[in-house]
Amino acid sequence: MTEQPDIRSKRLEPDEIAANFSDLHPALSRSEALIEADRCYFCFDAPCTDACPTGIDIPAFIQKIRSDNIKGSARTILSENIMGGMCSRVCPTEVLCEEACVRNTHEEKPVEIGLLQRYATDPLIETGQQLFARAAPTGKRVAVVGGGPAGLSCAHRLATLGHDVVIFNRDEKVGGLNEYGIAAYKTVNDFAQNEADYILAIGGIEVRNNCALGADVSLTDLRNEYDAVFLGIGLGRSNDLGIDGEDKDGVVNATDYIAELRQAGDLSELPVGRTVVVIGGGMTAIDIAVQSRHLGAEQVHMVYRRGPENMSASAFEQALAQTSGVTIHHRAPPKRILGDEHVTGVEFDADSGKFVLYADVVFKAIGQHLNGIEGPATENGRIVIDGWHRTSLDRVWAGGDCVIDGDDLTVTAVQHGKLAAIDIDRHLGEQ
């Protein structure tokens, strides 16, 4: 096979791409929201609330929608999860609150909690109406390292408690994976930045972008200068496949391409291969596979080394990939990358024998790891924390994907940031 990769832009017309990247779950109208809210049983011991990582009182916010109290509904949500708007779009509700819904049976579907949460929170983000105010200034200063969901959640809660916060963010924009790492069809119309602006508008939070820990600021300096430090640095480096040929042109980290896609002004200008192979079985693998199809790739193969029951991508996401034209292969670890300078394909070592998938582009989507940090104790490449997110270092807390119980979900990172902020406030009050 000759090395002539078919990688180019404008595989589809702009209107086709616009349709492909339109909102995956369009918002509910008022009548649709009222009908859906009326399906809720308003359980006293609501299993949906127990299943929510941030502990939102789901029956309460749905009851307020039912009575047309949208502002009150939003307050119930955002009091526990300040990124309730984003979570209504990207949270795997099908395996959390909606799976736990008592109406989730063989005979009927669960209440569409995610869409109802979006219905309640979107108006506030759009108008900028603040529901929260800062407490009296405490005179305490906290450094938050990382501008992703954990960092923004921690910063907002600290600001409501009267502390001054400085966010040190390595990227040009805040938002972390919400801005740079989520499929574009899940969060349209620059929602990630609009939500971040809403969070920061409470005041008392300074943001320093393009400021990375280790390169532009040290943890030692932050500990000396601030009363407390929160680390929400995520997992900055993509995992390698560890096979021959991985360094060839055309072998790309999926997270890098998704970030480029999310920041592109014109998606039709993005180059995409005619035939694409994605290696991985998680949400990132699904996102890059589906978006490659949406950009015009004719064939997209997603290959996972174990069975479908082991994939971290939910059943809904797997079905989304398949209905988008992605072919999923299971139990096929990659053996080597083929080609001279540019990739031409991948050889896999499946249970049924070796096989080759030819490709113009190969995306690696097998997870990420911590980009090195000196100071706090780590275990299996992540920061060790206690029940209140304290690290082994005095006055240093951590949360989100970078800690040992992080699970790569926005909703979990938000909860980590909130809990850490509560404990930081307790610690500063004791001082």
Residues 136-171: tens digit of each pLDDT: 999 999 999 999 999 999 999 999 999 999 999 999
Asked whether residue 318 carries a pLDDT value surpassing 60, the answer given is yes
Task: For 2-11, write each residue's pLDDT tens digit.
Answer: 456 999 999 9
Task: For 241-271, write each residue's pLDDT tens digit.
Answer: 999 999 999 999 999 999 999 999 999 999 9
- Nearest CA to 146 out of 164, 166, 169 is that of 169
Fold for domain 141-236+370-430? FAD/NAD(P)-binding domain (3.50.50)
Where along the chain do the CATH 1.10.1060.10 domains lie? 30-127
Q: Give the pLDDT band (50/70/90) at residue 431.
A: confident
pLDDT given at position 141: 98
Residue count of the chain, please give it: 431
pTM above 0.85, yes or no: yes
Asked whether residue 385 carries a pLDDT value surpassing 70, the answer given is yes
Asked whether residue 299 carries a pLDDT value surpassing 90, the answer given is yes
Work out the average pLDDT over 29-51: 97
Where along the chain do the CATH 3.50.50.60 domains lie? 141-236+370-430, 238-368
Work out the average pLDDT over 49-78: 98
- Nearest CA to 312 out of 258, 386, 244, 366 is that of 366
| Mean of per-residue pLDDT scores for the chain | 96
- Residue 279 CA to residue 282 CA, distance in Å, equals 10
- Residue 329 CA to residue 305 CA, distance in Å, equals 8
Q: Give the pLDDT band (50/70/90) at residue 372.
A: confident
Superfamily, domain 238-368:
FAD/NAD(P)-binding domain (3.50.50.60)
- Residue 306 CA to residue 318 CA, distance in Å, equals 14
pLDDT given at position 1: 38
Fold for domain 30-127? Fumarate Reductase Iron-sulfur Protein; Chain B, domain 2 (1.10.1060)
